[in-house]
Structure 1
């Protein structure tokens, strides 16, 4: 390996390292001990989030935006804690989630704009769960923020992470970007309120109503 090849190799390694060290608010608050969680090293189910506070005592208005910001994390334990924590918060948040939706749009868009397919698939799965988490959430997202979110969907709709023999595996793991985009758009149409289809179609001309 010549000097130039070594320099290129080191440059790529540093680039990948920096990619895994995204400075999110989630990491900042977790490292400071401001989040009521820790990593639970279970022998039966593997690493999992452990909550140190009861859900009915939590400040969802603070926690949900921070955890959504953590979707961009690639490094363990932050990546595990953010996604597992979000799943729990969306399960437990109920109607209080509705008023918090405007604070979630920017972190969701930031995750989608990373162009990292692993982060994008996590985001799409969690966005679907957010839409279904409480009545009215989908309507707020579509009626008020469709332009902000759907601009990137138009590009992703034709992307497909699956190649060759990996297609079935990726689909089983819910990592097929094209399918996840389609599913998310369908949920937006179903739960997005009046004229939801028109709003989606305006941003994504190739979308067909279900």
Structure 2
């Protein structure tokens, strides 16, 4: 080897030693477990997390548009307290309300499970249905998504209230029942899932049937109301989505 080559080798060794010293001085880099990076120098494997199946996942509730309008003070109603409880008072004449705006907004509030949002939304929906009747039919396409969200919350109280409101809406006008038939594919999958839902309370007493909040009974009653008021094509479409349903008119 020539003198120049020996000098070059010495310089390379010194540089590699300096690099190793710098790596030792640096804090180790954390890498994910079971990866190729764990074989690299100056790395530290992160502890892997153990899944606890008993841990309850806390899901942040969706902020509904109804809550947003309520907090801004855009809703034309107020809560009145009296010795027998509370009631909703409208600040505008219901004849002047735009149903295409307010009815979907109040239906979106059916997903709420906290007071006063749920109180306003549920009473507001009932009042609008009782007063509107035939005004509900043109707004049906805008109501499907809020109803579906409320039924998919898996909150028993919210689901029972929504089913009762569906029955009230269908019986309020002869146009609503047939108008809901094209939307059975969006609404009835939940009915099929909870039609045979049974609550296991062991040796306790279940008062849900007395309080009219038995989910499986409400599902069956709602399907019967949809069949009675849905016209000639209602049963065929219900049977397609809920195969275990038996007609209350044919049998």
Same fold per TM (> 0.5)?
Answer: yes
Correspondent of 2:66 among 17, 26, 29:
26
CA contact (8 A) 1:161 1:175 kept: no
Partner of 2:45: none
**Structure 1 residue 191 displacement after superposition:** 1.0
Aligned pair count reads 194
SS at match of 2:79: strand
Structure 1 segment 5-84 matched on structure 2, within 5 A: 15=58, 18-19=60-61, 22-44=62-84, 46-84=85-123
CA contact (8 A) 1:128 1:187 kept: yes
SS at match of 2:245: coil
Tell me the distance in 2 between the aligned counterparts of 1:133 and 1:50.
21
Distance 1:102 1:161, change over 3 A: farther
Partner of 2:23: none
Larger CA Rg, structure 1 vs 2? 2
SS at match of 1:175: coil
**1:174-203 deviation per Cα after TM superposition (whole angstroms, max 9, x unaligned):** 100011000000011111112211111111
SS at match of 1:47: strand
> Is it true that 1:122 corresponds to 2:165 in the alignment?
no
CA contact (8 A) 1:161 1:177 kept: no
Instruction: Indicate the structure with greater helix content.
Output: 1
Correspondent of 1:94 among 119, 128, 133:
133
Correspondent of 1:134 among 173, 176, 184:
173
**1:106-142 deviation per Cα after TM superposition (whole angstroms, max 9, x unaligned):** 0000111111111110110111111112111011112
CA contact (8 A) 1:162 1:176 kept: no
Tell me the distance in 1 between the aligned counterparts of 2:169 and 2:200.
25
**1:23-53 deviation per Cα after TM superposition (whole angstroms, max 9, x unaligned):** 1111111111111011112222x12212111
Partner of 2:235: 197
Structure 1 segment 169-188 matched on structure 2, within 5 A: 169-188=207-226
| TM-score, reference length from structure 1 | 0.86
| TM-score, reference length from structure 2 | 0.73
CA contact (8 A) 1:118 1:175 kept: yes
Q: Deviation above 2 Å: which 4+ runs of structure 1?
A: 160-167
